[in-house]
Every structure is written in structure tokens, then in C-alpha cells.
Amino acid sequence: MNQDSINIINSAAAADSVDVNAFHSPIYSEGFDNDAYQDSVVSNMANSTILSVPSGQKSDSYIKSPLHDTGTMLLFLLSIFLITISYRKGYKYISDFKKNLFSLKKRQNIFEEHNTFNEIQIQTALIANTCILEGILIDCAVSLYYPSVVMSTNIFAYIICMVGLMALFYLAQLFIFFILGYVFTNKSNTSLLIKGFNASQAILGLFLIPVVVLLLVYPHLADLIISAFIVIYVVCRLLFIIKGARIFFNNYYSFFLFILYLCSVEIIPIKLIYNGIIYLFSLF
């Protein structure tokens, strides 16, 4: 390397050293002056909010409904399907509702008292429908009025338990009426009593179909709909009680027996069912 090249390199290195070590004083050593704030960007930033809080409406509380439960809906549709396929051959049983619920007419021939297989089939479908609809309505009533006892979100499990409880309640009543008929009256009157009871339960289920549909579609009206369910149940029950009174009330002594009947069949079982409902809900 020649001498001139060495001199050029040394000169460049010295210049770089001077630039690095030189002191650069800040332009705004005492902050921005007033002219700096006249800039539009700076002005907009100064006037804008630092944090914006999102606003909106308070959300509605979630209403638990059997409409959102697949098992419950399948159970409800199954009951309607069973009634539909049974009606074609067992429609005569539905047409005899009025006679079974109000008439005390004795049989005129040996064939009148016996139900055909088709009538038994639709009667079973109607009773099953009543138990299913009562189970759905009871589950909604407990969830509405006694939410503290609902320990799980499994609606289908609760409804299955309620349907089973209503089925047992129906069978227990049927057994009691057979016993009452055997003890206090004859076979013919017992048959009239059983027919009246089954007719009242079947009619109850038919009236509950639109009630349950309204409950599924409008769960926010549950309070009003459950009140309608109670009224319908009481009316159907009173119709049957009136027929029972007409069968058993033959003299003033029968009035005392009728009071015992009301206590043993219509009041105490309701209390037992209430306790059973609360107990089953506490299991889950």
C-alpha cells in the first residue's frame, strides 16, 4: 500500500471520530413552543379521548326451557305421534268422553262394557300423553317457583323423573279406585268410576297440549301458563269427583264416606306428590 492511500484512510477515520464525538444539541431543549401546537395532527390528538368506554343495553337473563332440550322435545313429539296413529282405529273412545265422564247409565248388553283393543290402545296413548305433559309442566313450575332445589341443568333427567312420578301417581289412584269400588259398591259402579277417571285424565292431557306448546314458545309467560295448567287440572278433577259423588252418595252416611274419600284420595296424595317432587329434584 502506498503512502497516499494510508494518508487518505487516516484522514477519513479522523473525520468519523470527530462526527461521533461531536455534541448535537436538541432543537427543542425547553420543550415545544406555541407554534408546534398549531399543527392539525397534534391538535386532533390533543382533543381526542384517550379511552372510549363501549356502551350498550343490558342483556336479558337466559330462561331455561324444555324447548332447547332435544330429549324433551322428542318425548313430547312421541306422545303426539302415539295419539295420532291410535286415533284412526280408536276414535270411538274419544267420542265417548262425555258418556264416560258424566253418564251413570248401566250397560244394556254384555258387549257394551268391554273395551276393544283399539280403544285400550288410544286410551293408553292419551294417559301417557297426560303424564308426559304434566312432567314438563311440573319441571317448569319447580324451576320457576323453587329454583333453589334445582341442582343441575339436565332438564331431560328431571322431566323423565317427573313423568315417571306422574305415571306412578296415576296407577296408584287406579288401584285405590278399584279398592273403593270393591269395598263400597258393586262391579258395575266400579266400572263407571274407572271409566270416569280414565276419561278425566285423557281429557286433561288433550287440554294440556296447547298449554305446553305455549310454554315452549313463550317461556317468559311461564307464570301465567302454569296458572292455566292448575285451573285445567282442578276443573278436570272436579268433574271426576262429581261423578264419584253421584255413584257413592246414596244416603247421609255416604256423605261421611265421601269426606274420607276426599282426604284420602284427593288431598293427602297431592301432599305426598309434592314431597316426592322436591325430593327427586334434590337428588341431581
pLDDT digits (tens, 9 = 90+) for 162-209: 999 999 999 999 998 888 888 777 888 888 889 999 999 999 999 999
Residues with Cβ within 8 Å of residue 14, at least 6 apart in sequence: none
CA distances from 230 to 39, 47, 135, 137, 256 (A): 75, 64, 13, 10, 27
Q: 26-40, 97-111, 124-138, 183-197: which has the highest mean pLDDT? A: 124-138
Q: For the residues 6-20, what does the mean pLDDT come to?
A: 52
At 42-74, the pLDDT tens digits run 556 656 665 566 666 666 555 566 777 888 888
Q: pTM of the full predicted structure?
A: 0.72
pLDDT at 111: 47
> Are 194 and 181 in contact, with CB atoms under 8 Å apart?
yes
Query: In this model, does residue 110 exceed pLDDT 50?
Result: no
DSSP assignments along 81-106, one per residue: HHHHHHHHHHHHHHHTHHHHHH--PP
| Mean pLDDT taken over the chain | 77
Does residue 28 form part of some domain? no
As a whole-number percent, the residues of the chain with pLDDT over 90 amount to 19
Buried/exposed code over 256-276 (b: 16+ C-beta within 10 A; e: otherwise): ebeeebeeebeeeeeeebeeb
Write the DSSP string, 159-175. HHHHHHHHHHHHHHHHH
Q: What is the rounded distance in angstroms from the CA atom of residue 220 to the CA atom of residue 224?
A: 9
Q: In 3D, which of 232, 203, 171 has the Cα closest to residue 94? A: 203
pLDDT above 90: residue 232: yes
Q: Which residue has the higher pLDDT, 31 or 237?
A: 237
The answer, yes or no, to whether residue 265 has pLDDT greater than 80, is no
Give yes or no for a contact between 151 and 69, defined as CB atoms under 8 angstroms apart: no
pLDDT at 184 (0 to 100): 76
The residue type of 283 is L
Q: Kindly state whether residue 5 falls inside one of the protein's structural domains.
A: no
What pLDDT does 235 receive?
Answer: 93
- Give the H/E segment covering residue 145: helix 117-145
Let me know if residue 40 belongs to a domain: no
pLDDT at residue 252 tops 60: yes
Closest residue by Cα to residue 127 from 159, 89, 174, 88: 174
Write the burial class of residue 48 (CB in 10 Å: 0-12 exposed, 13-18 middle, 19+ buried). Answer: exposed
| pLDDT band with cut points at 50, 70 and 90 for residue 245 | confident
The domain of 213 spans 66-90+110-282
Q: Provide, rounded to the nearest whole percent, the portion of the chain with pLDDT above 70.
A: 69
pLDDT at 11 > cutoff 60: no
Q: Is residue 49 part of a domain?
A: no
201 within some domain: yes
168 inside domain:
yes
Of the candidates 236, 237, 215, the one whose C-alpha atom is nearest the C-alpha of residue 224 is 215
Q: What is the CA radius of gyration of the chain?
A: 40
Spatial CA neighbour of 170 closest among 269, 100, 258: 269
Give the position of cell 318425548: 75
Looking at the domain assignment, is residue 4 inside a domain? Answer: no
Report, as an integer, the average pLDDT of 217-245. 89
CB 176 within 8 A of CB 265: yes
Burial of 188 (0-12, 13-18, 19+ CB in 10 A): middle
67 CB-contact burial (10 Å; exposed 0-12 / middle 13-18 / buried 19+) = middle
Please provide the size of the chain in residues.
284
Does the residue 11 lie in any domain?
Answer: no
The tally of domains found in the chain comes to 1
